[in-house]
Structure 1
């Protein structure tokens, strides 16, 4: 039952995200889509600064269908990042982009750690 619910939610979310980014469904192979959900912890009081760096660095990444940063309601220093990519190769390539490297450089001193991380599929 849970798997079916996740499949439905994932499919609906992917459709909305693809439409938002301007991709036509026929351009995306659903069997190749790569998605990650991960938790990142900021140094105390630095969460909004961290979100700013991540948001700046995530603009205009080829193959990116969605990149969203969420504030954890229960932990004032925790964020959750959801990423959806056309394929895993697009995600790996993004790590070499100048704006992503700059965001990592700026964010590194205020990252206190990482929590749960999952690669997900529908």
Structure 2
């Protein structure tokens, strides 16, 4: 298993638009077991993304999918910052597909 947790900060007034982009085309990510987008209740501009993949190779392959690449380009235009993603090793819980 391969996991990532990352925080993005949208430019003012763009969190909902950024969130919508992050939730598009989720079926185009083979090997993705869980992909959660959440708003930070303490920061009106912040979005957290938590991902679980079968392995790191599946995650890397997803970054080559045309729909994912296009979404990343569009999302980058709405981000003020993108904090470093933290790699995790998921071991269990509720929500694995």
Q: What is the TM-score normalised by the length of structure 1?
A: 0.70
Q: Which residue of 1 aligns with 2:86?
A: 118
Offset at residue 116 of structure 1 (A): 4.8
8 Å contact kept, 1:35–1:84: yes
Distance 1:51 1:59 in 2: 16
8 Å contact kept, 2:28–2:65: no
Offset at residue 62 of structure 1 (A): 0.5
> Do structure 1's residue 52 and structure 2's residue 20 form an aligned pair?
yes
Q: Between Structure 1 and Structure 2, whose CA radius of gyration is higher?
A: 1
8 Å contact kept, 1:71–1:79: yes
**C-alpha RMSD of the superposition:** 1.2
Distance 1:104 1:116 in 2: 15
More helix per residue: 1
Structure having greater relative contact order (Cα 8 Å, sep ≥ 6): 2
More strand per residue: 2
Q: Which runs of 5+ in 1 are unaligned?
A: 1-32
Q: Which runs of 5+ in 2 are unaligned?
A: 92-97
Distance 1:48 1:115 in 2: 18
Q: What is the TM-score normalised by the length of structure 2?
A: 0.86
Residue 56 of structure 1 aligns to a residue whose secondary structure is: coil
1:1-122 equivalences under 5 Å are 33-121=1-89, 122=91
Q: Number of aligned pairs?
A: 90
